[in-house]
Chain A
Amino acid sequence: MNRSIALALAAGLSALATFLGPPAGADEAKEAWQDILAAARGQSVYFNAWAGDPQTNAFITWVGELARERYGIDVRHVKLADTAEAVTRIVAEKAAGRETGGSVDLVWINGPNLLSLKEKGLLFGPFVEKLPNWRHVDRTKPSNLTDFTIPVEGYAAPWRMAQVVFLYDSARTPPASLPGTIPAFLDWARAHAGRLTHPHPRDFLGATFLKQALVELAPDPAVLQQPASEETFAMATAPLWAWYDALRPHLWRGGEDFPATGTAQLSMLADGEIALAISFNPADAAVGIRKGTLPQTARVHVLDAGTIGNTSFVAIPFNAAHKEAAMVLANLLMSPEVQARAQDPATIGAFTVLDLASLSEAERARFTPPADAVGLPDNAALGTPLPEPHPSWMTRLVAEWERRYTR
C-alpha cells in the first residue's frame, strides 16, 4: 500500500520534473554552465556543514582539494555542531538587512530546516537544474525531489540518502529475535525491559521514531501526505498512542527520561546500556565498526514493511556571497566520483542519491561495496524507503507527545 503510493508519487514527480526542466537547448545549458564555472574560478565558498566526526571533516577536506584542482575554487569548511547554527545566522543577517555578501555560501541541510528557510524566502534558486550532474540523480527516489511532501523545486541539491534503521549488536541480540513490525516492538520491549529507548522527540531522530511507528500504525497512511488537521491527526494517531502507552513502561527508565540526542542514544548502545537504537544512516554499523566505536558484530535492522527515508541536501542562502562557486561545489558533490567515495564506509558511508543505471559501467563499478565492508546492508535489505509525512505531522506529533508524557 505504502509502497505503491510512493511509486505513483515518484512517477508523477519525475514526469513533473522533466516537464519543468530547462526549455533551453542542451548547448545553451552548457554555455550557461561554462559561464558559472568561469565566474566561480577564484571564489571561496564557505560550506557550512556538520562537523561531528573526523571522517566527515576529512571527506569535506578531500572534496575541497578536488574543487581547487579542477575548478580553482577555495572550499572553506565552516564547522557546525548543529545545522540550526547556520540557519540562525542566516536569519540574523536577514534581520540586519544584509541582502548580499552573506557569510554562508552553501549549507548542508535536512528536511524541516530546509523547508523553514525555503518558506521564509531565505534560499537562492532554483538552481539545481543548472547543474550538469543533476541528470544522474535518481528521480524515482521521491525524496530527491520532494522533501517531506513539499516539492524542493530546485532550491536544494540532493547529496546523500538517509533511511531509518535500527542498530544492534548481533552477538548480544540474535537477529531472529528482533521485531519485524512496529506492534512486535511491544513483545520485544517486554522481554528486554529497559533495553529500548529513543531520543527525546524534540530531537529530530526522536521525532522520527514516532513517525516511523505512525507510518506503520496509521489506519490510512495516505492522509500523512497531506497537512494534518485536528480530525485527521486524531484519527491517524489513535493507534499510535495506544501502542506507545503499552510500550512506554518497558522502555529505558520506564519511559520517564530519554537520551537528549541521537548521538547520546548511540553511545548508550555502544556502552551496552540499551540493545536497540534508531539511526538514520544505514551505514552506521559499518562506519561504527570501522571507527572502532561499535563492535565487529554490530548490524542494522530494517522493518518488514520498510522504513522512512529522506534525502540530505545542500542549499544556497538568498544572500550568499559566492553563489557560483557554491553551485560548482554542489555539482561536484553530486558527481559519481564523489558520491562513490562518500558511500564507502571507510569514509562516511553515505548512500548515494544517483541513479546507478544512468552511469557508465566504469563509474558504476566504483559503487561496489569493498569486500571487507562489515555490517553494510545491501539495497535489497533496505527495501524502498517510505516517504516522510507532511511536516505538520511531526510538529503535531512532538507537541502531542509532550502533552501526554512530559510532566
Chain B
Amino acid sequence: MLLRLAPAATLAVLAGPVVLGLAFTVLPAFGFLPALGGTTFALDPWRGLLAAPGLSTALTLTVGTGLATTLLALALAAGLCAAVAHRPGMARLQRLMVPLLASPPSGLALGFAFLVMPSGWLVRLVSPWATGWAVPPAGLVTVGDPLGISLVAALLIKEVPYLTLMLFAASATVPVERLMAAARALGRDAATAWVSVVFPQLYRQVRLPVFAVLAFSMSVVDVAIIVGPTNPPPLAVLATRWFLGYDLAYFHTAAAAATLQLVLVALAILLWLALERPVAALGRRWLARGSRSRAAGGAAGVAGAVAALLILLGLLSLLAMLVWSLAGSWRFPAALPDSWQLWLWRGEAGDAAALASTSAGIGLAAVAVALVLTLACLENEQRHGLHPGAAVQWLVYLPLIVPQIAFLFGVQVLLVRAGLDGTPLAVVWAHLVFVLPFVFLSLADAYRALDPRYAMTAAAMGAGRWQVFLTVKLPLLARPILIAAAVGFAVSIAQYLPTLFAGAGRVATLTTEAVTLSSGGDRRILGLVAVLQAALPLAAYGLALALPFLAFRRFRGMA
C-alpha cells in the first residue's frame, strides 16, 4: 500500500524545487522577473543571447567536448573492463580508481592543470636540465586550448572511473562468467569475448549513467573554468558568468543561455539515442559474421592502455595537490617544493572535524531518503508492472542538466516562501534534488535487469513479497545499491551552491569552506581542500566496494 505512494512521494519531494527551479530559469529568459522589474514577456533576452559574440564557438565547444567526453569515456571504460576482464589485476585497478571517484571534479581538474601547464609538474620534472627552460616556455599551449582537448582530458579522468564503476556494478546482475565461457568456447580471445558478448548486455544497464556523463560534461562549470578556453568558454560558463556578473541586467540573457543549455543537452541525448540503433545494427552484423579477427581485442587493448594512462594522470594530479598542501613555496622549475610547511593542515584541522560531521550528516540523510525513494519506486514498478512516464524521468534528471545557478534561484525562492531556508532540513532537501537522480540512475538499470527467476523461485518456496525483497533482492543487489549510495554521498559532499543557497550561508560544510577558500587561488590551499573534500567520499566508496564481499560471501556464486 505504502509502496504505491512511492512515485507520488518522489514527485512531491522533487516537483516543487524542479518546477520552480525550471520556472525561474525559463521565465526570466523571456523577460519575466518582477524582482528585477521585468513584468512583461519579451524576446529581448534571446536577442541579447544570439547577438553575444562567439556564441556559435561556445555552442560548438559545448556539444563537441560533451559528445567527445562521453564517447571516449564509454569506449575507454569498456576497453578497460575488456582488457582486464577476468584478470586478477581488475581488483587492484579498481582500488586505484577509488581516489579519483572520490575527488571533487574541480580538485582533480586543478591537479591536472598543474600537471600539464607550461609551468606545471611535468615540465618542471625535465627542466631546466633537459629543456633548458629557466622560465616556463611562452609558446606552449596546454591548459585552455581552443579546441577544449585539455577540458575533455580533465573530464575523462573523472568519467572513465565512473563509467567503469557503473559497468562493474551492472555486471553483478549479468552472468558474466557463463557468457565469457560460451564466447571463449567459440574461439574468441577474452577481450573480444567481453566486447562482443558481455558489453552489449551491460550497455543497456549503464545507459542512464552514460546520459549523466553527457549531461554533466556539457553543463559542467567549475572544471571548464579551470581547464577550458575562456574566449569564449562553453555555454554553461557563459551563463554562469552572466548570472554572477556585476550587471544585474544580464540576468535575463543568462536565463536564456541556461534555457538554451537545457535544450542543447536534450538534443544531444536524442542524437545519442538516434545513433544507438545503427551502431547496434553494425555490431550485430559484426557478431553474426562470427569473425575471429583480433581487431576488437586489439582495440580494447589500446583503449585499456589509454584508460590506464588516464588513471595514472589522475592519480598524479591528486598527488600534486597533496604535495602542494604541504609546500611552503614551490617555484618554477623546481621539481619539488623549495620549502615545506604544516601550518595549513594544523590551521584547518580544528574546523575540519566539525565541518566534516555536518557534511557527513547531510550526505547520509540525503542518501538515505534517496535510497528509500528509489528502491520503493523500483519495487513498486516491478510489482505493478508500471513504467514511469518519460515526462517524469526527465523531471528527475532536469536538475543535472540545467546550470545550477539558474536552477537554484527558483529553489531559493521556494525555500524562502516556505520559511525553510537556513535550516539543515532545507539543505538536505536541496541536496536530495541532485542526489536522487544520481542514485536513481546508478541503480535503476541494475534493478530492472535482475533476473526475475530468483524472485520467482523464492516466491514459489512460499516467501512473501516483502520477504523476497528483503532476503533475496536486497542481498543480490547489495553491490549496486551500495555503489549507488556511495555515488549519491559523493554528489552530496561536493554540492556548493545548493548548500550555500538553501542554507542561506548558515550551514557550513567542508565544501562551502573549500570552495570559498579556493576563490583566493592559493594552490597550497587548493591542494588542502581537494584532499579534505576527497576524504569522506573515499571512505564511502571504500565501504561500498568492500562491504558486499564481507557481508554476502554466501551469495558469491550467484552474482
Which residues in A have some Cβ–Cβ distance to B below 8 Å? Answer: 46, 48, 50-54, 56-57, 76, 78-82, 84-89, 91-98, 103-104, 111-113, 116, 120, 172, 193-195, 200, 202, 204, 252-253, 256-261, 263-264, 266-268, 270-273, 291-293, 295, 394-395, 402-403, 405-407
From 30 to 77 in chain B, residues with beta carbon under 8 angstroms from any chain A beta carbon are: 33-37, 52-54, 57
Tell me if B457 is interfacial: C-beta within 8 Å of chain A: no
Give every chain A residue within 8 A of B513 (Cβ-Cβ): 79
15 further A-B contacts with Cβ under 8 Å, apart from A257-B229, A292-B329, are A51-B517, A78-B504, A78-B506, A94-B35, A96-B412, A103-B422, A103-B504, A116-B248, A260-B225, A273-B117, A273-B119, A293-B522, A295-B331, A406-B54, A407-B53
Tell me if B84 is interfacial: C-beta within 8 Å of chain A: no
29 pairs, A vs B, C-beta closer than 8 Å: A52-B518, A54-B517, A79-B508, A82-B519, A84-B245, A85-B500, A88-B243, A89-B501, A89-B504, A92-B416, A95-B35, A103-B421, A116-B246, A202-B241, A202-B245, A257-B146, A259-B230, A260-B225, A264-B521, A271-B119, A271-B331, A271-B332, A273-B138, A292-B328, A295-B331, A394-B246, A402-B54, A406-B231, A407-B54
From 103 to 119 in chain B, residues with beta carbon under 8 angstroms from any chain A beta carbon are: 117-119
Tell me if B542 is interfacial: C-beta within 8 Å of chain A: no
Give every chain A residue within 8 A of B52 (Cβ-Cβ): 402
Tell me if A98 and B416 are in contact (CB < 8 A).
yes
Given contacts A266-B521, A271-B136, contact A84 B516 (CB under 8 A): no
Tell me if A92 and B119 are in contact (CB < 8 A).
no
Tell me if B80 is interfacial: C-beta within 8 Å of chain A: no
Tell me if A116 and B247 are in contact (CB < 8 A).
yes
Tell me if B347 is interfacial: C-beta within 8 Å of chain A: yes
Give every chain A residue within 8 A of B192 (Cβ-Cβ): none
Give every chain A residue within 8 A of B508 (Cβ-Cβ): 79
Give every chain A residue within 8 A of B347 (Cβ-Cβ): 54
| Cα–Cα, bound, A291→B339 (Å) | 13
| Cα–Cα, bound, A91→B408 (Å) | 12
Tell me if B138 and A194 are in contact (CB < 8 A).
yes
Which residues in B have some Cβ–Cβ distance to A below 8 Å? Answer: 24, 33-37, 52-54, 57, 117-119, 135-136, 138-139, 141, 144, 146, 225, 229-233, 241, 243-249, 251, 328-329, 331-332, 339, 341, 344, 347, 405, 409, 412-414, 416-417, 421-422, 496-497, 500-501, 504-506, 508, 512-513, 515-525
Tell me if A95 and B331 are in contact (CB < 8 A).
no
> What is the CB-to-nearest-CB distance from A293 to chain B, in angstroms, rounded to a whole number?
6
Tell me if A256 and B146 are in contact (CB < 8 A).
yes
| Cα–Cα, bound, A377→B409 (Å) | 43
| Cα–Cα, bound, A76→B507 (Å) | 11
Task: Pick the 9 closest A-B CB pairs, nearest first.
Answer: A263-B521, A52-B520, A194-B138, A78-B505, A112-B246, A95-B35, A103-B504, A406-B54, A271-B119
> What is the CB-to-nearest-CB distance from B178 to chain A, in angstroms, rounded to a whole number?
52
Give every chain B residue within 8 A of A57 (Cβ-Cβ): 517
Tell me if A91 and B231 are in contact (CB < 8 A).
no
| Cα–Cα, bound, A85→B244 (Å) | 7
| Cα–Cα, bound, A80→B416 (Å) | 19
| Cα–Cα, bound, A78→B513 (Å) | 10
> What is the CB-to-nearest-CB distance from A255 to chain B, in angstroms, rounded to a whole number?
9
Q: Which residue of B lies closest to A116 (CB)?
A: B248
Tell me if B246 and A257 are in contact (CB < 8 A).
no
